[in-house]
Structure 1
Amino acid sequence: MEFAEKIMKEIHSAISQNERFVLGIDGLSRAGKTTFVKKLASMLESKEIQNMIIHIDDHIVERKSRYNTGQDEWQEYYYLQWDIESLKEILFEKLSYSNDLKLPYYDHALDRHEYKELNIADKKVIIVEGIFLLRKEWSSFFDFAVFLDCPREIRFSRESLETQLNIEKFNKRYWKAEDFYLEKVRPIEKAHLVLSCEKLVEN
């Protein structure tokens, strides 16, 4: 897999200099990020490279802070789904050098956070997976960023039938935010590597 070789080359270059490697796996909803990250982590483990995966969706805010705020729904999703500045301070700014992280994990059932401490002292590679990672507040903290590019119709087909029925929510909330991200932030241009979901299936 050519793309895997390119990523591994970057990783080996960093860890050979005893530096931690921070890898971002970006892509829109249902682009295949989680599956890709699992395969990548397995590859690292097979080479005995200690790594940790951080899913940005584990750290969203409570419902009251992201729904019915008075802003357009797409703005709530893009700007309010995460506490952007807080995550910058407690997560992204510390990834390259810290031994410990203390992060708020969101409990969907209880709609509240539980703080957990992560020891990353021995981790050579930190993989951050999620949507909108290359927004201006976070993009500079990645040593290497991959964007998984997948057409909307394919991504939508991966949703459950029940979820697909709520097309209005996609139109008002998710797709407008995605369009803003693609047009204004331009993650495809910012990423070090862009992979199509069709290519990933082939590999």
Structure 2
Amino acid sequence: MTMVAVDGVDGAGKTMFADALAARLEAEGQTAVRTGIDGFHNRRAVRYARGKDSPEGFFRDSYDLDALRTALLYPARIGLPFRTAVFDHRTDRAVAVNPLTVPLPAALIFDGLFLHRKELRDEWDLSIFLDVPFEVSYARMAARDRSDPDPMASANRRYLEGQKLYFAECDPKRRADVVIDYADLDNPRIVRG
């Protein structure tokens, strides 16, 4: 299976972009599987072990990357049954998702945060980074989630600073195969790729 990552900050529009990409592939007669990182959160105790306000905890501890690789990425790549989720972060419980088997060739369109971490960067056949300024992404999240639209608000510190750690350590804009300026949802612009 061809593995496609759609990365970007919170509120970048990753899910919308990935959904549209999968729909386009399907319209062209290709098989596309849509899923994302939200089904691979760590337990709440792990996510907040460094403190509920910890940017480092947000960046390093939000997701169970081992489960992502073993339940989804490895088996899907070679055509074996795979699971698109193992955990529900809202209920803080494991989920029983029936394994899927998808005939190859197919594409997995996977969206999420931190997809260019060293543990994941070699998993993708194609990686896309949606480049959106924090001011725009936080305004989008405020419209979606009724959160504070100010990136500098204390409630956003964990997330903003966690993203900055990710940028400093992993440099997703440089590592991505394709970078798209997605500040204007109606007029995306390919910056590189």
Give the TM-score, by structure 1 length.
0.81
Moved over 6 A (4+): none
1:62 is matched with 43
Measured against aligned partners, the alpha-carbon deviations of 1:56-103 in whole angstroms (never above 9, x if no partner) come to 012212212212445961111111111223322332233310321134
Report Cα offsets for 1:8-48 as digits up to 9, x if no partner. xxxxxxxxxxxx21111111100011111111111111111
Question: Which residue is equivalent to 2:27?
Answer: 46
- Give the CA deviation at 1:113: 1.5
Instruction: Determine if the alignment matches structure 1 residue 191 to structure 2 residue 168.
Output: no
Question: Is the 1:148–1:196 contact (alpha carbons within 8 Å) kept by the matching residues of 2?
Answer: yes
Counterpart contact for 1:149–1:196, Cα < 8 Å:
yes
Higher-Rg structure is 1
**1:176 counterpart = 2:158:** no
1:105–1:116 contact (8 Å) kept in structure 2: no
Indicate yes or no: 2:183 matched with 1:201: no
Name the structure with the higher helix share: 1
Q: Tell me the TM-score normalized by structure 2.
A: 0.85
Identity %, equivalent residues: 24
The Cα shift of 1:115 comes to 2.3
Residues 34 and 110 in structure 2, CA contact (< 8 A), matched pair in contact too: yes
Give the unaligned 5+ runs of structure 2: 189-193
1:80 lines up with 2:61 in the alignment: yes
Q: What does residue 101 of structure 1 align with? A: 82
Q: How many residues align?
A: 182
Write the deviation string for residues 174-199 of structure 1: whole angstroms up to 9, x where unpaired: 11111111122101111000000146
In the alignment, residue 179 of structure 1 is paired with which amino acid?
A: K
2:8 aligns with one of 3, 7, 27: 27
Tell me the distance in 2 between the aligned counterparts of 1:60 and 1:139.
18
Look up the match of 1:7: none
How has the CA–CA distance of structure 1 residues 174 and 196 changed in structure 2, closer, same or farther, with 3 Å as cutoff? same
Tell me the equivalent position of 1:159.
141
Aligned-CA RMSD value: 2.1
Q: Is the 8 A contact 1:88 1:137 kept in 2?
A: no
| Distance in 2 (alpha carbons) for counterparts of 1:165 and 1:191 | 27
- Which stretch has the larger CA shift, 47-56 or 99-108? 99-108
Asked if the contact 1:24–1:128 (Cα under 8 Å) also holds between the matched residues in 2, the reply is yes
SS in structure 2 at match of 1:202 = coil
Contact 1:27-1:148 at 8 Å conserved across structures: yes
